[in-house]
Every structure is written in structure tokens, then in C-alpha cells.
Structure 1
Amino acid sequence: MKFKVLLIEDNESSMRVLKRVIGKANLDVVYASSLTQAKVIFESTAPETYLCAVVDYTLPDAPEGQAIDYAIESFIPVIVITDRSDEYVREHILSKNVIDYIPKQNTQIFEYLSRLLARLEKNKTIGVLVVDDSTQSRNSMVSLLSRHNFITYSATTAQQGLIMLREHPEIKLMITNEYMPDMSGVALTVEARKLYGKDELSIIGISASRSSSLLAKFIKSGANDYLNKPYCHEEFFCRIVQNVEYIEQIDTIRKAANTDYLTGLPNRRHFFNKAESSIRRGLDCMTMALIDLDHFKSINDNFGHDYGDLVLKEVARLINRHFAKFHVSRFGGEEFCIFLPNVNHDDALEFVESFRLAVSKKVIKSADIRHSCTVSIGVTSQLTGKIETMLTLADEHLYAAKAKGRNQTVGDN
């Protein structure tokens, strides 16, 4: 679903720029120049269709932030923009349940807003766990996180927190108080690190203690950050976003290292890691399939390398569709590999035959080129215990399929 942003701004120049910024974020803009107009527009739409509202603090019919209250009461998260920079306005805005406020004097306002809108959409898939035995403190943090669209989880004890970490892999950040009845926050951090490394889960320690050594204890025990109570609204969110983005950046690097640049499929190294991990867990049966495009050199020679790349991409899409539950890889050139854990030989042959037929029926189009291609496949289900040995056997069967005329599957006798 494409979300909307309710923009309430009476300055025509600011409105035009803000509409462009919101549009570039791939969001629909619903515009109003006054609170009265916003009420009329909003009556005909559902609040869940809005990602947020971007509201000017001062409007002709709402000079003291009344439009902010209206949006919040309508269950729309609010970002406030204002050309007033006095401390009273800042405190007045932050006393409300807003996402953030942006002074118009800030030259980075539009860049910051663009990043904030993207962040709000991403947060809908990110879990944050708050572990704190204080109801007031816990609820306060959960409320702040909910404004930013995070999936929130809360626990009153360290043991409950560990259970939630195991049950909810979408949790990418844990905030833990130091003083709890069953285990300290530092001890919880140590236990959490046994489950997830720093590249998988960010941890922020939090405490009202002014002990300078507590920060060091948290960091040395595996925490990424530390926050003192009481904290201001803005500092809290800066720390949250910084730690979530750290996990995302690591994930982006990992994906780049593990992904074939052309097809988007996992690369050979990642495939080996996943397949070997499956074998170590113990399998009753397993199957390895090697897939090779027939006459691929002639495709490049006759139609050019750009079309050859398109063929590889289309075959990769079919592999993703047919083998979504299994480990797949582009092994290099025109060769692909599939590892099917807990799939016996007969069932595996049905899977790969269905794929082979789908490839042969696929017409790959580009400009004035209309061409079909075929694949040869070698399959083995021999329980050798070693990936390399299974690949050798599958490769022998693939060679046999080529020798028999191509466009066929050869498996174990």
C-alpha cells in the first residue's frame, strides 16, 4: 500500500518544496492550507492510510499549534515544522506526542524531512524490545517508539526479555534498564550477546544512576550505547535511529558481500555457508542440483552480452520462484546450484523437472529479440556428508545430460 502524508502548510513557497520532498519519498501528498481545510479533507479518509502529517506550527486559524493537536487526536503521527525558534515553542511542541519538529531556519530541513519520512516507513518492519521493571519508564519508552512506527515489545524482567529475543527475530534493538529484580541490565546484555552478535542486534543500556563506571560496564559487556535517565525526547530518538541504522548498514554490507551482482541470487560463498549449516543440523535426506544454460555462448555471440545478461536475470527470477524454500546460488557464468534439504530424490526430480519445463516455455524479450532457451540439470541425493562430493556427483550427472542432447535432467541411477 502506498501511504499518504497530510501536509498542512499555509506558505505557498514552502508548500511547493515540501510537496516535492514528500513525492520523492514515493508518498502521496494530501494538501491543506488551514486547519479547517484539513478537517474537511480528513473526514473522507481513514487514518491508517496516512504515514504521518507534516504540520506547520502557526496557521491562520491555528496560531498556537492547534493543528498538531487535531492530527494527534485523529491518530496520525505528526512532524512539526515551524519558523519560530524561541524556547517556549520548542518546549510546547515537545510536550505533545509528536514524532519530531524541524525549524524552518535549518538549511537541512528538506533533507532531514526526506530521511525522516523514509525512516518512518522502514520502522514498520523493525522490532524494538524495552526491558524495564518500572511501568512508568517502560510505558514512556514504548509510547515514544510507537510514534516512530516501530514494532514494540516490552518485558518486566530480564528472563522475559531473553524469551522475546528468541521468539521475535524482527527485534533489531533492545533497550535495557540496569536495575531489575532477576538480573542486571549488564548481565542481560552478556546473555543477549550469546544469542546475537553486534551486527545482528543493537543494545542500549539505560539507568538513572550517575555512576561513570556503569557506562563502561555496559559497553564492555557488549552494549552498543548507553543513555542516562532522565533523557530528552530528541536525544532518545537520535540514539535509537543511530543504533538501528548501524544494524541496517551492516546488513547492507553483508548482502552485498553475499549476493551475485547481476542476478541478485546468493553467491557461491553464501551458498556453501547455508548448505553446510543445514548439514550440521542433521538431515534425513538432501539433494543437490546443478543447472547449466544450454548453448549460452551462442546466445552472447548471436544477440550480444546485454541480452545474455537479461537471460541470466530471467532464469534467476524463475529459480527464485520455483525454489523459494531452498538454498539457491549463481555459481558463476551460466551455472546455478540448488540445495534441497530434507527433500528425497524423487521429489527433487519433480521440482527440477517443473523448473526445466518452465525455462523452455519462457520467451525472453528485449527490443526486437524474442528467444527461448533451455537448461540441462544434474541431480544427486547421495548422502556423502560433504557439499563438495555432492557437487562433484551432480556435475557428473549434468555432463551426462549435456552428452544426451541437453534440455533434460539426469539424476542418480
Structure 2
Amino acid sequence: MRFKVLLIEDNESSVRVLKRVIGKANLDVVLANTLAQAKIIFETTSPELYLCAVVGYSLPDAPHGQAINFTINAFIPTIVITSEVEEDIRENILAKSIVDYIPKQNAQMFEYLNRLLIRLEKNKQIGVLVVDKSRHNRGILSSLLGRHNFITFDTSSAAQALDLLQRHPLIKLMLVEEDLADTKGLELVSEARKLYDKDQLSIIGLSTNTHSSLLAQFIKSGANDFLRKPYCHEEFFCRIVQNVEHIEQIEAIRRAANSDYLTGLPNRRHFFNKVNHTIHRGQAPMSLALIDLDNFKLINDSFGHDYGDVVLKEVSKMIVRHFSSFHYSRFGGEEFCIFMAQTEQSEAIELLNTFRQEVSQKVIKSKGISHSCTLSIGVTSRASKKIESMLSIADEHLYNAKAQGRNRVIGDPA
């Protein structure tokens, strides 16, 4: 679902810029120039359709931030934009349950808004765990995180925190108070680091303790960051986002290292690592298939390499759809490999034939070109402790499939 952003602003030049910024974040704009118009819009649409509201502080019928109260009361995350920079107005805005406020001072602030909008959508898939013995403190932190669309979990004890981390892989950030119900926060950080590296879970220590050594103790125990209470809400959110983005950047680097640049499928090196791990666990029966696009050189020569790339991408999408529960990879060129753990030869051949037939029936269209392609497949179920041995056998069967006329699956002889 593509989310909407309710934009409540009356300045025409600001509206033009904000529409571009919101559109750049791949979000739809619903515009109201006044608070009255916004109320009419809400009578005909559901709040669930909106990712957030971007609200001007001063409007013709709401000169002192009344529109902010309206969107907050409608339970829509609210971002405030204002040309007013007076400290009393800033404090008045920050005292409300808003996501953030953005002064219209320069173009960079609009770039910040773009990043914030993208962040709000991503946060819907990210869990944050709050660990504090005080239920009141946990409620405050969970409420702040909820403004930014994070999925929140909370507990008072280290034992429950470790259990929640294992049961909810979507948790990417943990906030840990110094004193917990069953131990010290430092002990929880140390135990968590035995299970999760810094590229899997970010940890921020929290404390009202002003002793300078506590920050160092948290960091040495494995925390990524430390925040001393009381804190400014702006600083709190900056630290939260910084630590979440650290995890995302590491994940992006890992995906790039493990993926084929064209199709997005796992690359050969990553495939070998995953399959060897499965083989060593001895999950027999197992089958391995090598897939080759028939006459792919002719496709490239006849229609060009750009169309050849489209063919590879479409076949890759079909591999993902058909073999989502197995390991697969683009091996290079027009060759793919699929490893099917706990799969007998007969079942593997049936799955591969269904896939082969669907590929042969699909007409791949791009830039006025319409063409279909076929596959030759070699598969073996002769289990081995080395993937190279299975690949060698599957390659022989693939060669035989080509020699026998292509567009077929050849497996181990009975």
C-alpha cells in the first residue's frame, strides 16, 4: 500500500516545495490550506491511510498551532513546519506529542524532511526493545518511539529482554537502563553481546547517573551509545535514528556483498556458504539442480544484451517464486543453481519440471520485443559432504539435457 501524507499549509511557495519533497519519498500528497479543509478531508478518509501529517504552525484559521493539536488527536504522526524560530514557539511545539519540527530556514531543512518521511515508513518494520525496571519510564520511552512508527517492546528484567530478543528478530535496537529488576543494565549488555554482534543489534545505555565512568562502562560492555537522562527529545531521536541506520547500512553492505548485481539473487560465494552449512548438518535427502537458459547467446545476438538482461531478471523472479523455501543462486552468465534440502529426486524433478514449463510458456516483453525461452536442467540427489561433488554430477546431467534436445530435466538414472 502506498501511504499518503496530509499536508496542511497555506503558503503557495512552501506547498510547491513540500509537494516535491513528499513525492520524492514516494508518498501521495493530500493538501489542505486550512484547518477547516483538513477536518473535511478527515470526514471522508481513514486515518490509517496516512503515514503522517506535515502541518504548518501558522494557518489562516489556526494561527497558533491549533492544527497540530487536531492531527495529534487524530492519532496521526505529526511533523511541524514553521517560519517562526522564536524559542518560546519552539518550546511550545516540542511540548506537544510531535514527531519533529522543521524551521523553514534553508533548502537543507527540506532535505531533512525527505529523509524523515522515508524513515517513518521504514520504522514500521523495525522493533525497539525498552528495558527499564520502572513501568512509568518504559511507557514514556515507548510513547516517544511510537511517534516515529517503531514497533515497541518493553520489559523490566534482563531475563525477559533476552527472551524477547530471541523471539522477535525484527528488534534492531535495545534501550537499557542502568538499574533493572533482576540485575544491572551492564550485565544485560554483556550477555546480549554474546548472542548478537553490533551489526545485528544496536544498544543504547540510559541513566540518570552523572558519573563520567558509567558511559565508558556501557561502551566497554558492548553498547553502541549512551544517553544521559534527562535528555532533549531532539537528541533522543537523533541517537535512535543514528543507531538504527547503522544496522541498516551494515545489512545493505552485506546484501551487496552476497548478491548478484543484476538479478539480486544470492551470488555463488554466498550460495556455497549456505549450502555447505546445510550439508554439514546432514539434512538428507537432498537434491541439487543446475539450470541453463537454452540458446542464450542467440537471444543476446538477436535482441541485444539489454533484452538479455531483462530475460535473466524475469527468470530470476520466477526462481524466487517457485523455490522460496530452498537455497538458490545465479552462478554466472545464464546459469543458475538450486539446492533443495530434504527433497527426494522424484519430488525435485516434479518441482523443476513445473518451473521449466512455466518459463517456456512465458512471453517476456520489453521495449517492443516479445520472446520466450526454454531451460535445460540437470539434477542429482546423490548426497555428498562436498557441494562440488554434487555440482559435478548435476553438470553432467545438464550436458545430457542439452545433448538430448534441450528444454528438459535430466536426473540420476534409476
**Equivalent position of 1:134 in the other structure:** 134
8 Å CA contact 2:280, 2:385 repeated in 1: no
- Structure 1 range deviating more: 326-335 or 305-314: 305-314
**Equivalent position of 1:52 in the other structure:** 52
Matched residues in 2 for 1:254 and 1:229: separation?
35
Matched residues in 2 for 1:29 and 1:303: separation?
41
- 1:158 deviates by 0.7
User: What secondary structure is seen at the aligned counterpart in 1 of 2:44?
Assistant: coil
Whether 1:339 aligns to 2:354 is no
- Structure 1 range deviating more: 331-340 or 37-46: 37-46
TM-score (norm: length of structure 1): 0.97
Please list the CA deviations of residues 295-343 of structure 1 after superposition, one character each: whole Å capped at 9, or x if unmatched.
2222222332222222212221221121111111000111100011111
Matched residues in 2 for 1:197 and 1:104: separation?
40
User: What secondary structure is seen at the aligned counterpart in 2 of 1:59?
Assistant: coil
**Equivalent position of 1:113 in the other structure:** 113
- Structure 1 range deviating more: 277-286 or 82-91: 277-286
User: What secondary structure is seen at the aligned counterpart in 2 of 1:330?
Assistant: strand
Q: Quick one: structure 1 residues 392 and 241, their matched pair in 2 at CA, closer, same or farther if it must change by over 3 Å?
A: same
User: What secondary structure is seen at the aligned counterpart in 2 of 1:62?
Assistant: coil
- Structure 1 range deviating more: 75-84 or 271-280: 271-280
- 1:368 deviates by 4.3
Matched residues in 2 for 1:358 and 1:167: separation?
38
User: What secondary structure is seen at the aligned counterpart in 2 of 1:238?
Assistant: helix
User: What secondary structure is seen at the aligned counterpart in 2 of 1:43?
Assistant: helix
Instruction: Please show how residues 234-313 of structure 1 align to structure 2 within 5 Å.
Output: 234-313=234-313
Matched residues in 1 for 2:256 and 2:359: separation?
27
User: What secondary structure is seen at the aligned counterpart in 2 of 1:265?
Assistant: coil
**Equivalent position of 2:90 in the other structure:** 90
Matched residues in 2 for 1:99 and 1:345: separation?
56
Whether 1:395 aligns to 2:401 is no
Q: Quick one: structure 1 residues 368 and 116, their matched pair in 2 at CA, closer, same or farther if it must change by over 3 Å?
A: closer
TM-score (norm: length of structure 2): 0.96
Instruction: Please show how residues 63-212 of structure 1 align to structure 2 within 5 Å.
Output: 63-212=63-212
Matched residues in 2 for 1:332 and 1:90: separation?
57
Matched residues in 2 for 1:108 and 1:178: separation?
37
Matched residues in 1 for 2:17 and 2:310: separation?
39
Q: Quick one: structure 1 residues 368 and 82, their matched pair in 2 at CA, closer, same or farther if it must change by over 3 Å?
A: closer
Matched residues in 2 for 1:346 and 1:166: separation?
37
8 Å CA contact 2:203, 2:225 repeated in 1: yes
Q: Quick one: structure 1 residues 366 and 4, their matched pair in 2 at CA, closer, same or farther if it must change by over 3 Å?
A: closer
**Equivalent position of 2:359 in the other structure:** 359
Matched residues in 2 for 1:185 and 1:63: separation?
46
- Structure 1 range deviating more: 180-189 or 121-130: 180-189
- Structure 1 range deviating more: 12-21 or 247-256: 12-21
- Structure 1 residue runs of 5 or longer lacking an equivalent are none
Number of residue pairs matched by the alignment: 413
Please list the CA deviations of residues 53-85 of structure 1 after superposition, one character each: whole Å capped at 9, or x if unmatched.
111112222222111111111111110111111
User: What secondary structure is seen at the aligned counterpart in 1 of 2:54?
Assistant: strand
Please list the CA deviations of residues 259-278 of structure 1 after superposition, one character each: whole Å capped at 9, or x if unmatched.
11111111001111211222
- Structure 1 range deviating more: 302-311 or 263-272: 302-311
**Equivalent position of 2:319 in the other structure:** 319
Matched residues in 2 for 1:391 and 1:215: separation?
53
Matched residues in 2 for 1:27 and 1:337: separation?
38
- 1:233 deviates by 0.5
